[in-house]
Structure 1
């Protein structure tokens, strides 16, 4: 999953980025409101984490602008403001949830994961497709209740496609959501991930959960047993 972090406190921004990257997220960062607004307008994020008190352009204005332009990715706001009115204003501007400073990084991570999951239509952190379980909280996948040894990129590719089960996901779309803006992207890498995934989640080649649609991309599809 690819997220945008907009925070002007450099130490906090570095901490957030480090934790999200350790959890397998691709992160783009902005330290002021103008840059954050631009990045959100230009890239297909799965989530934005936005501080309200920013230089150049405040968080409320950023969110309102994104929403007016049709940007629908979930937004988690960070606020040091204690007044309940500020929190209400943030939510009414188009944000989906908020965390008040000071906070525990783990709470931010949990709320971010929940927002991404719910935006894809899943209430539970565990997505079950027949004998395959994808645990978005623990960031792991299981086959017949046995944990699979997946690289971070392999897991992220699987999670992204599973959240769009039944839909066609192009190589470009996968690449944009797996890598941050500074990564030298190569669509051939996606083919390697998909080939490895197929072998790991379907070693007997009987489930065939990932199909290739020539010239269009890939589709993950199995009977979903829990939504």
Structure 2
């Protein structure tokens, strides 16, 4: 089994590599620490499995996941995340990840998930399923993308550039986000994100 590891934390990546290569049938053929280089590696390596960290520099992991599932339908993808938000987890499921697990899970669960996805099945941890079921946040996937970029410190024009949208469209989305979250300004919006613990993975 040929595996690509995509995670920007070297120590975490090394631990995963040791775990996987302790299994006789698994080989890590590439390691990537940013999303910009990941498309190239996927095209070049012809891997069977991609283990993808949700929060990585260089782009939008959900968009890349969705792209890979359309472009390389045979490639199995397991998404790992530190995020507890049901909305984030639902995004990963909706982007057709074959499995979604939290980073604080046990290694045996990851190995089981790999086994399941390589058999053509999907696997979502109990916590992931429960958190998705508990969603009460009325934001669309696009609004959530924009909110994460705003929370990360990007101004509207930078958000527009990253998502190939017009600044006017981003302004409208921002207005809708603030209305749906019942806040009146940027400070209240940031505080609301902290309160909801939407992007806990940002602190990983």
| TM-score (norm: length of structure 1) | 0.49
Instruction: Give the CA RMSD over aligned residues.
Output: 1.5
State the shift of 1:94 in Å: 1.9
Contact 1:48 1:75 in 2 (8 A): yes
Which secondary structure does the structure 2 equivalent of 1:82 belong to?
coil
Q: Is the 8 A contact 1:6 1:31 kept in 2?
A: yes
Match of 1:2 in 2: 2
Max radius of gyration: which structure? 1
Give 1:33 deviation, angstroms. 1.1
Structure 1 runs not aligned, ≥5 long: 120-227
Q: Over residues 151-192 of structure 1, what are the superposed CA-to-partner deviations in whole Å (9 max), with x where a residue is unaligned? A: xxxxxxxxxxxxxxxxxxxxxxxxxxxxxxxxxxxxxxxxxx
Q: Assess if the C-alpha contact under 8 Å between 1:53 and 1:79 holds in 2.
A: yes
How do 1:109-128 and structure 2 match up within 5 A?
Answer: 109-118=111-120
Structure 1 runs (4+) deviating above 4 angstroms are: none
Give the distance between the partners of 1:40 and 1:63, measured in 2 at CA.
Answer: 11
Query: What displacement does 1:104 show?
Result: 1.4
Which residue number in structure 2 is paired with residue 74 of structure 1? Answer: 76
Q: Which residue of 2 aligns with 1:50?
A: 52
Q: What SS is found at the alignment partner of 1:118? A: coil
Equivalenced residues, count: 119
- What is the aligned partner in structure 2 of residue 150 from structure 1? none
Following TM superposition, by how much is the alpha carbon of 1:88 offset from its aligned partner in structure 2, in angstroms?
A: 1.0
Q: Does residue 21 of structure 2 align to residue 21 of structure 1?
A: yes
* Counterparts of residues 179-198 of structure 1 (less than 5 Å): none
> What whole-Å deviation, never above 9, does each CA across 1:71-113 have from its counterpart, x for those lacking one?
4311110011111111111111121111112121221111112
Contact 1:32–1:55, Cα closer than 8 Å, also in 2: yes
Cα deviation, residue 37, structure 1: 2.2
1:9-45 deviations in Å (ceiling 9; x for gaps) = 1111000011111113111211111222221222222
| Larger fraction in strand | 1
